[in-house]
Amino acid sequence: EPEVTQTPSHQVTQMGQEVILRCVPISNHLYFYWYRQILGQKVEFLVSFYNNEISEKSEIFDDQFSVERPDGSNFTLKIRSTKLEDSAMYFCAAAGRGSPTDTQYFGPGTRLTVL
Amino acid sequence: AQSVAQPEDQVNVAEGNPLTVKCTYSVSGNPYLFWYVQYPNRGLQFLLKYITGDNLVKGSYGFEAEFNKSQTSFHLKKPSALVSDSALYFCAVTLKENFNKFYFGSGTKLNVKP
């Protein structure tokens, strides 16, 4: 199965600090996504990204969040000023063509802990 | 609003017995349905999906799921459970009209005992 990788696996930060979570999607995939899973809760959609633009975002994805693909390979999620409630597992996903017949392939996740 | 329900937090089954993990959905639009499995410290791994066609979908590792439009369900099944099937299972739905956004259930922990 194609593999999406994420770094770091675990990030601990102080409240108010900026964090950048990194994802390396599958090389020929064009559509990218971020999800988060607060401990014990369901996986929630954050944002989808295609052609260097946000395609869709959820109400969770406020001005504190941003995404970019700075070098054509990494796909990053930045949280500008972290809050305690941002503590969660963050998953990156990639899909080939963004069609309904595509499968979204998920990375192993980054566990973000905000103290 | 779109939603997915997995009514059981945990399912316990003995090895060799059939297993079912339940999923129901509520959407406004045409649903596409997915099952993912999550092993400890791993990402979500794709198992199977229903897009169109035959309501019975076969996927990885001997799993299958049946799409039931009238009951708005997409239960995951396997005829004979293995201890190695023990994991967290997530049902997800997206819409034909907007397939960039997945909605996930809360997950069901499957425990297969030897």
pLDDT at B114: 94
- The distance from CA B3 to its chain's CA centroid, rounded to whole angstroms, is 14
**Alpha-carbon span B93 to A58, nearest angstrom:** 15
Interface A-B, measured as beta-carbon pairs within 8 A, has a size of 64
DSSP conformational letter for A40 = T
Which of B44, B92, B99 minimises the CB distance to A100?
A: B99
Which of A48, A99, A109 minimises the CB distance to B101?
A: A48
pLDDT at A2: 64
A42 and B107 within 8 Å at the Cβ level: the answer is yes
Are A88 and A36 in contact, with CB atoms under 8 Å apart?
yes
Q: What angle do CA B11, B48, A90 make, to 5 degrees?
A: 75
Which of A91, A100, A107 minimises the CB distance to B51?
A: A100
* Residue A30: pLDDT over 90: no
| DSSP codes of every residue in B37-73 | EE-TT--EEEEEEE-SS-SEEE-GGG-EEEEETTTTE
What band does A41 get if pLDDT is binned at 50, 70 and 90?
A: confident
Which pLDDT tens digit goes with each residue over B78-91? 999 999 999 999 99
CATH class for the domain made up of B3-113: mainly beta
Contacts of B51 in chain A (CB under 8 A): 100-101
Are A30 and A49 in contact, with CB atoms under 8 Å apart?
no
Structure tokens at B101: 């956004």
**Alpha-carbon span A105 to B38, nearest angstrom:** 12
pLDDT at A98: 64
3-state secondary structure of B83: helix
pLDDT at A28: 80
What band does B10 get if pLDDT is binned at 50, 70 and 90?
A: very high
Which residue, B29, B28, B56, B48, is CA-closest to B89?
B48
Q: What angle do CA B90, A90, B77 make, to 5 degrees?
A: 10
Average pLDDT over residues B46-70: 93
Q: What is the helix (H) or strand (E) element at residue A4, kind and residue range?
A: none
**Alpha-carbon span A49 to A96, nearest angstrom:** 12
A 10 A CB-CB count for B54 gives 9
Dihedral (CA of A107, A113, A114, B2) sign: positive
Are B31 and B101 in contact, with CB atoms under 8 Å apart?
no
Dihedral (CA of A60, A2, A30, B5) sign: negative
- Domains along the sequence of chain A with CATH: 13-97 (2.60.40.10)
